[in-house]
Amino acid sequence: MKFPSDESASELRDLFFESAGEILQGMNEAGLALEERPGDPERLRHVRRAVHTLKGDSAACGFRELSELAHELEDVLTPELAQENAELIPEVVLAAADTFHEMLAAYRNHLQPPAGGALRDHIQGLLHRPAARPQHPTVLAKFTWSEYERLRIAEAFRHGETVYHIALYLDPDTTLPAAALELARKAFGEAGRILALRPEAETPAEQLALIEAALASAKPVDWIRSRCHIPAVVEKISVEIAPAPQATTRDVLEVLLESEAASSIGAKPGQPDFAVAHEEEVPEPGAAAGLAHAAAENTLRVDAGRIDIVMNLVGELIIGKSMLQRAIGELERRYAKDPLCGKFSDVLAFQARILGELQKSVMKVRMVPVEQLFRRFPRVVRDVAKLRHKEIGLEVTGQNTDLDKGILDALAEPLAHLVRNAADHGIEPAAERQSAGKPARGTIRLRARHEGDQVVIEVSDDGRGLDRKKIVRRAIERGILKEEDSPRLSESEALQLIFAPGLSTADEVTPISGRGVGLDVVHSALEILKGSIELESEPGKGTTFRILLPLTLASIQALLFHAHGRLYALPLASVVEITRIGEEEIHHVDGREVFQLRQQVLTLFRLDRLGAQKTHARAKRIFVIVIGASGRRFGLAVDSLMGEEELVIKALEDQLVTSPLVSGASILGDGTVVLILNVVAVVTHLSRTPALEAIA
């Protein structure tokens, strides 16, 4: 026997952790669905398959504790036990998903996994639960007939006969179990013509609990029910008209079977055939394996690090293209009449087109739908609602919106904070909502969409909204805001205080929130992602958090400009417009420079205030870049503009630049290094001193 190498074993475990995460997400979704529809057979089958797969995969990777616990869980997921305990199974499934998640986290970090005591208690409670006699039989009729029996039923329909599906549930205390099948057959024969009958005659009497039949009869339902009632044998009778079969294409075997079925009831073959719909279609193992194999051949799992390497190489090619453009531009200026210049330009245009397509292709590989992130939140909302005794629904739209995987992964925790806060603080208890004229069930909405080269994600609720006075009061209590500055705050500025570190409007600290760290974490995470967040709230109506993110962190369209002897770049998505004003148009309000742009008064910022830069003589007329950040507009004074260019973002090491005001750097075609400003961080920094900006 050959054992896999350490490298192969490591790859196997990485693949296991990835697939196990998908399995647990599926278990969470199935558990939530079972809470709404207890006993749903399709969801139960999904859970059983998931647990069985997890058991086998974990055993193959040597995770014995997880494999054994999954094996124990399988014992309570049998169809009979699951149907008997339909109301309890969802809690077991969700508890299993949580326990397995904790065990996987321990395995990842090479730690001893938890014992899963709570899940084992659930399992033992179900396995040893006292069996109360059900008021009605737990075995359900399926009316799953063989091909030959379905053809006989189709022939009866073709001749205009009424076909009934009849189920006889036997009394478990009957004194005539051995004679039950024969008595039922005789009763069916008196009521009509038997087209199909289950079970077979050789079935042991002790296993006989249900008799199913397909009967062609001209009698009414009540007459058939009374005729099939057998005292001391049958406990319950179900009689329903069989659904009409649908037409389907026949093969040679079906034609032969049809002929035999027709001859058995005296009908003529060759007429249009029908097929009865099944409750459950079970594909043959060989066919299922073939489909799985074909799907596997069309899917390639690639480590994200390898894609990052390719993306970095594409970035280097873009820098090379910029260098070549500058060189060809210089060549055209020196030798304008040389025919080679035109050829060089054509080759460069061709290369730029191919490079653009290559960049788009690599970007698409990195893009994943936000559905992968949104799928986590139904469970989050359910847990908060159950803990806080609330009724909350979650509505999701825009799941197919694509976003860079790196951004998506980093966004998981901030978005979870917003959803938890909406469920815990935003949505009111049912009694409070009804007294305010609202439906008892609150609603949280998750939306995603593209806007230009940005992705917008909204988290909104129809709850109580934010209390401006309460936010300002808490900010003053914690020293975040001076009391004398509070009257000058606009509505938007007051609400933005909720993102300050340590500020919380919760009256009590719960296991979910209330410590004043959640929204600060959200704001900090979005700054790292070069994104921003906008906030809208209406008391009594609800709150909306709007997150704006770049499609990718690999490259951006940027505006280049000079300010105070340095070259900077701004993401073009943040630029609203560019204007030019004179020094006489600049005024001072509350220690801030402001200027008027049409009917709006904007705060003006100068980059020489970022650090100990030497102040240069100011020109009589200056360029002003109007930028939008956090739902507000500001003006940024610059000396000159260089134009628009696509920049490949290079991360800066901490030793080189420690300031959060710079989000990265890029290299131009002539080798010049340009710093890319973090717009939100710059505006926030310049707004703090000497006072909050006067006008938004």
**pLDDT, tens digit, 9 for 90 and up, residues 542-572:** 999 988 887 766 677 889 998 888 888 888 8
pTM higher than 0.75: no
**How do residues 413-422 score in pLDDT, each as one tens digit?**
888 889 988 8
- The C-alpha atoms of residue 273 and residue 296 are separated, in whole angstroms, by 37
Q: Are 192 and 206 in contact (CB under 8 A)?
A: no
Higher pLDDT, 326 or 247: 326
**How do residues 334-374 score in pLDDT, each as one tens digit?**
888 888 888 888 888 888 888 888 877 877 787 888 888 89
Higher pLDDT, 665 or 602: 602
Residue 658 dihedral angles phi and psi, to the nearest 5°: -105, -5
Q: What is the DSSP letter of 426?
A: I
Residue 633 dihedral angles phi and psi, to the nearest 5°: -120, 145
**How high is the pLDDT of residue 69?**
87
- The C-alpha atoms of residue 123 and residue 125 are separated, in whole angstroms, by 5
**How high is the pLDDT of residue 689?**
47
Arithmetic mean of pLDDT, 383-410? 87
**How high is the pLDDT of residue 179?**
76
Residue 535 Rama label (left phi>0; alpha psi -120 to 50; beta): beta
- Model confidence band, residue 251 (pLDDT cutoffs 50, 70, 90): very low
- The C-alpha atoms of residue 507 and residue 517 are separated, in whole angstroms, by 15
Q: Are 532 and 627 in contact (CB under 8 A)?
A: no
Q: What is the DSSP letter of 650?
A: B
Mention every residue, 6+ apart, whose C-beta is less than 8 A from residue 390: 384, 423, 427, 428, 429, 430, 442
Q: Does residue 46 surpass a pLDDT of 80? A: yes
Higher pLDDT, 579 or 685: 579
Percentage of the chain beyond pLDDT 70 is 78
Higher pLDDT, 351 or 126: 351
